[in-house]
Copies of this chain bind each other. A is one copy, B any other.
Amino acid sequence: MIANTPKPPYYAVVFTSVLSEKNTEYDKMAAKMNLLAKEQDGFLGVETAREGVGITVSYWKNRTAIKKWKAHLAHSEARKKGKEEWYKLFKVRICKVESDYSFEKLNK
């Protein structure tokens, strides 16, 4: 659920989106793309939640890996379909993760 990423630096792609309408076809495509992303070189993990706005943060070894995934044919086709049919708006931010820290409750 929370991605087990390596020690920084690495990269994050923050993808925030609003759908025209939520539908099962979109959910299927999103799940398929997440599975496909996991097979790509340099993929480190992904976290996703939708509650009105959808936020998907995927983690990558470097910008080259992000670029390759963007150019992947099935991913390009899914994005095209997303723009035509599902997304009302979205924003993509390419980020360098400079530092991180975490917390885990031990007695739970």
Contacts and interface: CB of A to CB of B under 8 A. Distances in A.
Interface of A: 1-3, 5, 8, 12, 14, 16-18, 20, 47-55, 57, 83, 87-105, 108
B92 A101 contact: yes
B2 A91 contact: yes
Contacts of A90: 2, 102-103
In terms of DSSP, what is the predominant structure of the interface of chain A?
strand
25 contacts: A1-B53, A2-B16, A2-B17, A2-B91, A12-B93, A12-B95, A14-B97, A16-B57, A20-B108, A47-B53, A48-B51, A49-B53, A49-B54, A49-B55, A50-B51, A57-B57, A83-B105, A87-B105, A88-B108, A89-B102, A91-B101, A94-B99, A95-B95, A95-B96, A96-B96
